[in-house]
Amino acid sequence: MDGARVAEKRKRAQTGRGRRRTCEEDGGAGQTVSDIEDFSPEEARKVRAALLRWYDGNQRTLPWRTAARGGGGGGGGNDGSRAYAVWVSEVMLQQTQVSTVVAYYNRWMEKWPTVGHLAAASQEDVNDLWAGLGYYRRARFLLEGAKSIVEAGEFPRSAADLRKVRGIGDYTAGAIASIAFDEVVPVVDGNVIRVISRMKAISSNPKESATMKSIWRLAGQLVDPSRPGDFNQALMELGATLCSRSSPSCSSCPVSGQCLALSLSKKLESAEVTDYPKKALKPKQRQDFAAVCVLEIVQESDLGALKTRNYKKLRVNDYKKSLLLIKRPEEGLLAGLWEFPTVLLAAGADQAARREAVDRYLTESLGVNLGDDYDAIFRQDVGDCVHVFSHIRLHMHVELLTISIKGGLGALEEKGQDLTTWKVVNDDSIRSMGLTSGVRKVYTMVKNFKQKTLPSLAVGGTNTKSNRRR
């Protein structure tokens, strides 16, 4: 079949999408009828029955699905406890695979079993437990939301009220309201978009507002009125397992009989189920460049020993050192998280430009000047690495700088306390902190550099046989 005929056949198969027909078009008297794209009541009943039957026999055993009812949720009673468990799991599952989330969820619920426990936590404690999940704004919104719920005295029970909580959008509100409180409302996540787009062969971009409105409407038509929470979980489960992005198992799908994409793939040689939903073009990543300075601070009492010895021959216990961390601003990328001193640069900045930028940053942020306020004992480039965010590709030039501050840490506290938020930690502490994967990547680079270049100064180790390179 030639390309023109295939295109025409597809066009005819999808004619009428997105508009309402009237009976006048069918010889009637102007009475409106359902969109061609809509699920008919009979079709919706078939989908509900088939999907719930499949879900009852095939659902994965996940801790948030078996969360015990009871224990209170900060005013919400048993349902409040269930709502809290659903909330935490759904936020964690955004942008993160189930296999990764399970361990984090279990640790989280062990530490903060109710919304009241979470509301009493600090942001730093929350970030520490969240470390490795990425998209740290989710953790901040969970804490802020918990505080507002506890302050209000009860867990919101409707999707409309849940949307008033900071960080809870349409999807999360629908999930909590339907699963914990049996409200008949839909949920739409990436899995649901894929399933419905295939069932109705929706070829428009799912990122477009009009398309999303259509998918929300269609999802709402399907929700089972007696088991809304189970149905929503079943729809998401189908997308996460059988109706996968690239390798759908159509022969095992409980709703394959209602799937227009599958029907088209059988009729048209060029049609595939995986044509739906339409692949949205990803925005081009921004290329950023930064100088990252891993700053070691040596105690003033050890300065004399350092000045009289060859740095490369020192044993790790010959002096005490601390690592400096800076807290990022409370708004923007990685808000409120700790990092090594970092300065954004122009592309192609050489070593001299990078060091000048770092020195200026340390002066402006901490109020100390190289030469005047601290002595540089050792300074060397460690190497380059790239850390990828969803929209940014960050090229990091990493250096190690060991200094001694005149007057010790007390002088640093006096000069830098009003300029920026910082702290010093030892090697053991930094390994147990909830740092971002980018910061850990830099820390590992420096650790490996010291093991290779300065073997007696391996980070966090002692000069024992087990620490020596073989």
| Active-site residue list | 90
Separation of alpha carbons 398 and 394, rounded Å: 12
HEC profile of the chain: CCHHHHHHHHHHHCCCCCCCCECCCCCCCCCECCCCCCCCHHHHHHHHHHHHHHHHHHCCCCCCCCCCCCCCCCCCHHHHHHHHHHHHHHHHHCCCCHHHHHHHHHHHHHHCCCHHHHHCCCHHHHHHHHCCCCCCHHHHHHHHHHHHHHHHCCCCCCHHHHCCCCCCCHHHHHHHHHHHHCCCCCCCCHHHHHHHHHHCCCCCCCCCHHHHHHHHHHHHHHCCCCCHHHHHHHHHHHHHCCCCCCCCCHHHCCCHHHCHHHHHHHHCCCCCHHHCCCCCCCCCCEEEEEEEEEEEEECHHHHHHHHCCCHHHCCHHHCCEEEEEEECCCCCCCCCCEECCEEEECCCCCHHHHHHHHHHHHHHHHCCCECCCEEEEEEEEEEEEEEECCCEEEEEEEEEEEEEECCHHHHHHHHHCCCCCEEEECHHHHHHCCCCHHHHHHHHHHHHHHHHHCHHHCCCCCCCHHHCCC
Q: 374-388 and 392-405 as β-strands: parallel, antiparallel, unpaired? A: antiparallel
378 touches 401 (CB < 8 A): yes
Chain-centroid distance, C-alpha 240: 17
259 contact partners, CB below 8 Å, separation of at least 6: 198, 199, 250, 253, 273
